Amino acid sequence: MLLSKQNLMPLLNSLASDVDVFVPTTIDGVKKFARLADGVEPDFDMINTTMPPKDLLFPQTQKMYHFDVDKNGSYHIHEYDESREQIVFGIRPCDMRSIVCLDEVFLTKGFVDEFYANAREKLLTVSIGCTQAAETCFCTSMGVDPIYAPNADVMLQDTGDAYKVTAQTPKGEAAVSAWSEFLSDGDAEPVNCDVTLKVSMEGVVDKLEGMYDSPIWENLSIKCLNCGTCTYVCPTCHCFDISQENRKKDGVRFRCWDSCMFSEYTAMAGGHNPRPEKLERERNRFMHKLNFFERRYGMSLCVGCGRCVEKCPVALDITRLIDDIGSYEVAPASAE
């Protein structure tokens, strides 16, 4: 099936009349996914947004429950469910992979985060393959195909004047069936995307096992500002804090994004902090991205989107770190 680019906006406007549709756009100078509405101009030629679409599933600030005490002294808890039917239209394959990572965190290993699960069930993902990569993109090195996202509900691939449309899940099949008036029969070869920035992950996961005390982390920490920019633009970072607001007998508990780059993140009530210095925090971030997550879930927590490379104010580059790890000589374990 093919979707003519002339039919793209009519399709989007039709969808937006029934459900919230989020598209890549620029608002107040920030490239992000925003709800399609009057004054919002989708930009599907944008290589990638600055802010990832993870807040559709994992909001930056999210109410969890409200609690109160009634006039009889009885205590009540009321859970929030702010999830609603949504479509993210134009998500890139790297960001689609990031949702797969978040699914592993919030939906597997014996624990299901109900807030995330409710939002995930109601989200239709429509991915558009890339035709151009930024200088900071290195998705192919992290196992991502820039023109194909296998886990998206619907895959669109640019063929020039139209998009090749492929339904990949039952939810996607239902969606494509409902779009029939905007589609036409046919097939075409998708435009390729050349990703020039390359790194090698060969041996990196195993090498990191013996690099906990490597001087490489001190060299990184000297440069790092611990500003947290990398964690907020990263599509896979999922640290959060839980807090509450009280007004007499009423209160709301909520969670909000946090960052492992902040010293307060690991501070304990008794005053102890297991990662008090920049070195420990820097090491934990990259070990999590490139080793811990791989060992637990079988995939890297880095999807090669390049946002952190582009936005780091001191040009701390994860691709250079990966290359440095690859060339690092790990000392053999001493025989007892």
Burial class (CB in 10 A: 0-12, 13-18, 19+), 302: buried
Write down the mean pLDDT value for the chain. 95
pLDDT number for residue 335 = 47
Distance, in Å, from the CA atom of 319 to the CA atom of 310, rounded to the nearest integer, reads 11
- Measured CA to CA in angstroms, residue 86 lies from 15, 16, 17, 33, 44 at distances of 10, 9, 12, 12, 18
Return the amino acid letter for 175.
A
Evaluate if residue 334 carries a pLDDT over 90.
no
pLDDT in tens, 215-262: 999 999 999 999 999 999 999 999 999 999 988 888 999 999 999 999
Instruction: Give the Cβ contact number of residue 276 at 10 Å.
Output: 12
Q: How confident is the model over 291-312, as pLDDT tens digits?
A: 999 999 999 999 999 999 999 9
Please tell me the predicted confidence (pLDDT) of residue 330: 67
Give the span between the Cα atoms of 95 and 88, in whole angstroms: 11
Q: For residue 197, give the nearest of 149, 289, 128, 133 by alpha carbon.
A: 133
C-alpha count within 13 angstroms, C-beta hemisphere, residue 131: 16
Return the amino acid letter for 8: L
Interval 92-137: pLDDT, tens: 999 999 999 999 999 999 999 999 999 999 999 999 999 999 999 9
Q: Which pLDDT belongs to residue 69?
A: 87
CA proximity to 35, closest of 15, 6, 50: 15
What is the token pair recorded at 153? Answer: 């509900």
This prediction has a pTM of 0.93
pLDDT tens digits, 3-46: 999 999 999 999 999 999 999 999 999 999 999 999 999 999 99
